[in-house]
Structure 1
Amino acid sequence: MKVATSHVDLATTLTFYWSTYDDLDPKERRGYLKWLAGGRCDPKAGSGYVFMFFHGLERRLLVDTQSDAEAREDCTAIKAEIERLISLYYQHASFCSQALRLLEHLDMPAISERMYLLEPPTKSAGNYEMPTLTRVALGQMAKDKYPLNSGWALAWAMTDPNISRRKPIVRCSDFFQRLFKAEYTQRFPDGLKVLNNKTRLRITYRASSPYLDVPPIPVGDLPDVSVTSGIRKKLQPIVEECAELLTPFSRYVGRNVENPDKYDALEGLLLLPTFLWPEYAKRELEKLQSDIGADAIALTFSELAQRFKSDGALPRNQITALARVLEGLNIGMEPDVLAGSRAKTEEHVVLFETEPDEPALRATTDYSVALTTLDIATSVAASGGTNQAQSALLDQHIDSWNHFSVTHRKRLKAYQLLQRLQPPTLSSLKKRIAALQHDEKRTIGYFLAQLAQADGTVTPQQVKLLERAYKALQLDTTSLYSDLHGAASSASGGIISARRSLPASTGADGKRQGSGIVLDMHKVAQLQRETAAVSALLANVFKGDQEDEQISAEATAQNASDAETHLYGLDTEHSAFLRLLVSRNAWTRQALENATATMDLMLDGALEQINDMAFELFDMPVSEGDDPIEINPDILSELTL
């Protein structure tokens, strides 16, 4: 047969797709021989050359092995060659699908009963039909009335060409499989019944060569369940919901393809349910629970984040997500980020054992009064260095606030510990104190003096702060010294005394033993009653303030309703930031950091959320670059602001 001598472009498609060597013209024969001589490695070669060579491999495996021992010895090498061709010519979908079907056919175990007891496959030999093993096993399930368990349900969902599978399923395959099984088991704990339909299952390998006829594989009288839609309609919603849940993490993975170490960092973990977290992260959560026990622990937020491979520079929504994870493990956090507080990277947080509660109850007037009372107390106490006696006394006061649940009292104690580590100032209280009557101010002043005398000693620093507090209360500072003297007399009369003793324990009489401090519970009860009176006074003032602030806030919200319209599913703050962002073609990083600071946003987190939205809706980002941050001009025509 003639072979051309001139140059041939291997990318040229063959005249006939299913050609044999005899069918080729001289140029095509030269191209085929050139491709073979080059080691069958040219990635630009047309798929016709690859298919022609594949026809020979197919015949060798399916026909020659029936009678030729040498051909049977070649099977392993031939399968390896097919896998190499798939990896090299992956862009030729029809070839890859046919080659994968051949490999599946060769690897198919001998048909036996109850194949649904085998490990189910989760990969399809192509995009056009279920794997043979899956179809046989599901048919046997239907015939034997064996319920569809989570493993085979997953195999069905992953290989049925009529079930759509979005990108997160492919990118996060392991997480999807675990998530799907968990969700399926929750919805169908007893499995699903597979219908024994009338269509019979016929398994045959359709060879790529038109000259090769492969006999069907005998599987017995089984239904072909792949043609039914009942189970598929129940699996598709689970697939969709799992894909939707994994979408944020999938985008995170896509943004960090070159940094796979970030996949199991806190920023990524917070996008997943905790049962999908890696083992190291689960151990850290267990260690936190163990460290806390019945006592609160204090650490900086960055120290907490570092336990999960993060530096702690998290946007607000991720800090809130972390707090929700901890709350799900009965670990509370102060500052109370779930109620709107901020947790800054280098500042302390306090973790404590808690129980589920109603967050709305932490926004009541009573709760605000309790927090402010602790603010005043810790501010005064901190001036001389908060000591054990003062802390014990404050805890006793918190325990006496029976109008709060046990869970809320635990949170208040954690708040008190946090305020001792990061003492507040009195300046924020001046406006509210100004509304008090003189007698009410005197009651509060005496309460502060009693707190300062809790350990029997008042330092110059405490006196100085008390003088400031009395001035804020518009009280004569000379009354401070008589109040301190009166409080000291009460202390010497038995409210609190100091002594040396053994390590701390609690005695049957309710006194704290061995701590160096003994509390007279009768005197403490008296002081608690006085504190309750102070709280009541504060409540009257704060309630009025809060009502005024609420009215003002509602008016402001009404006037600004147009400006606060939510855009593309973003919250108010991010919608406002988006409007600002696209008002220029480019920004310096510092300018945007200043802007986001006034909006209580973190720049990187805000940009990430906005760009995620843009990719989802318009398949392009809003901004690009780090400094300067440039606005994508193509998206401006898409946005309606």
Structure 2
Amino acid sequence: MIDLSKPRWIKAGQEIEISGAKIKDGMLYIGEVPRNSASAQTDYGPELINLALDIAPMGQFTMRQTGYWPSYDALAPSGRRAYLHWLSEGRRHKEADPGLVFLFFYGLERRILTSPLPLTAERQEEWQNIATELKALLKTYGPRSPSLAGYISRLLEWMEDFQSATDKNVTPKSLERFLIPEDTEEADLPKAWQQIWENIQQTYPYPRAKRTELPWRLRLALGQISRDAKPLSPPMALAWLHYHPDTNLRTPAARCPKQFDQLFMAHFAKNFPQWMRLLKSRTPLKKTYSPASHALQFHPALKMEFSDIPDISRLKNGLSKLEDIAIHVCDQLDLYSRALSKEPNDPENMDLQILLPFMLWPEGMQIKIKDLTDKITQQGAETYCFHEIFEAINPQPEKDLTLPKRLSLKQIQVLVESLKSLNIGVEPIPTKNAVDLSEKYTFFPYPFQENENQEDIPAFTQLFLQLGVALALSDAEGVNPPRREFLEKQLLSADFSTATDSSLRLMQNKAHILYLSTLSSTKIFNLTKKLLPNLELTQTQKILLLNRMIMQAKLTGMVSIGAIKFLEKIYKLFDQEISTLPSDVSRGGIDAPAPKSKTRTATHTLQLDLEKIEEKRQATEAISGILDHIFNPEAEKEPPSPASIPVAPEIQAEESSDTSQIFPDLDTAHRKMAQALIAKTEWDRTEIEALAEKFDLMAEGALEVINDAAFDLYDAPFIEGEDPFEINPEILEQFQA
């Protein structure tokens, strides 16, 4: 027999009868307290079933029986009967007054909050019974009363959190969903990270929502990781970053969350190979509970402190490191994010996918580009245009790519970085603001080390390679193996390399030879003329280059007519006396200039052998005549002297006009041709060819040079089309202004 002369707790499973109502499953506070006694509310609360109060014989629990703050004392006698009837019916009737359910819940809440600590085995079992009852109430009455559902959920969370923080048997299980299994293979780590991150999001949805504080369970997990000296895993680092109220991530993190999360975890693992060790905060972890019962508002158990678990949510050092990684990740996703904002309905478009770092590419594209890089590695180096690269990695070759003629430099740089991650370099390094997808580049294999980057080949070396390849292309042999070997051997000499040159630089030099081999001799010569003004070559350097060209021309013993003509162009370019070319070729080079004497003496005077000078002059004229007869067989035998050639007035006017404002980096001939082209907006091919001939230029090469200059200045072509050709109206307006 249970003594009910004073209030007491009826355990789960105990049966009790009150005024004819048999309550079989206990979990109630029952007892007798004198009527109107203040202690009934202050000591026990509104949930106490006071046997001193009247109970009516009838009461309907499906009718509204309670006010805003339910209390057994405040119920009418019929309301008390309704409450006892509901309890005796098993507490699961869905139509019951929610206030009666709250009244019962107050008792469970008091029992949990007033439990003495640490919990005994008996109390732990009681907590399990109460948790089971709370979950059943939540399932039955939660859909009908959101307020009741919220209070029940918070009490369950409080119980789980307390046990996770204090019970050594529960703590490892609570951390399992946040920790990477120790036996996970390295190849499976990204999948394991993703699974942990999904577990975290299931626990706390909407990771990017603004919060006033870090979720308590996440603080608990981070504190336990810090206490146990465990490393912070990539998904836990990502959770700390996302859920912390002080972080402010840029647009890419919100616009492409999946890509951001994957890339962040990968970079975190890269920056912290052993993962991050958390410092221990001196502030202990605390938890506060807001009760449903007004009688418990000031109960001391509402605030709990876990002295052995540090609260790391206030540590700024670790969070700042995560924010630095996030900034870097957003930088990598910036182009993709901007493009996605313009094509939000087609995120799988290859135009967008190529803007992602390689590790985020779809599997089909990754397989395709690995096949391509394997081919490049086997061949040693290959020349492709970027359009061919995109065609090769297209995961759906049956669909035609709709690529523009040019892509921005930033877009191409993303692809170059992806290739670099696969140990493939690109030569030359793309630098134009708008990269023509049809232009050839050399792709070469190289094992890039951490933070190892390509740099532009020194200008003097570039000049040597340009001259050497252009000379090789001046005859039918082209850049054959002996000539390539000659150029590569010269690059190893002290004239063009230093002891500090890396193996990457040597690979770049070889790749640059292959790249230049795809260009025409005219195109290369135009590049040379554009490069020269920035070099300020000394006479010694000019002679060094000319001697190397003469050596190359004589590799096979016979110097071709094409080589002689090209050497003449170089002699003119370097202000070298052309009349000495035959003898220089015969001797195998030019003598280095003799050093100037510091003192002048009367005994050494300059003596000229006039007979030998005349002999040299006649020999030069004879050779020039032979060459002229070969290359100009239909020319007049006795051409008029330059002084007798009439000059058309309009040409004189063009030559006298100021063209320095039109593409100032171009040479005079190309600048004058550009000046002539802006006279009208449309040109036929025959007109273009006549105009190019007028300025002693090749039509195709001249247009290419002028367009290159336009891209450097305006990021747009100067002239477009095939036949007719059209002048870019935007550039035309600037010239005519």
Higher RCO (CA < 8 A, seq sep 6+): 1
- TM-score (normalised: structure 2): 0.44
| Higher share in helix | 1
Greater gyration radius: 2
- TM-score (normalised: structure 1): 0.50
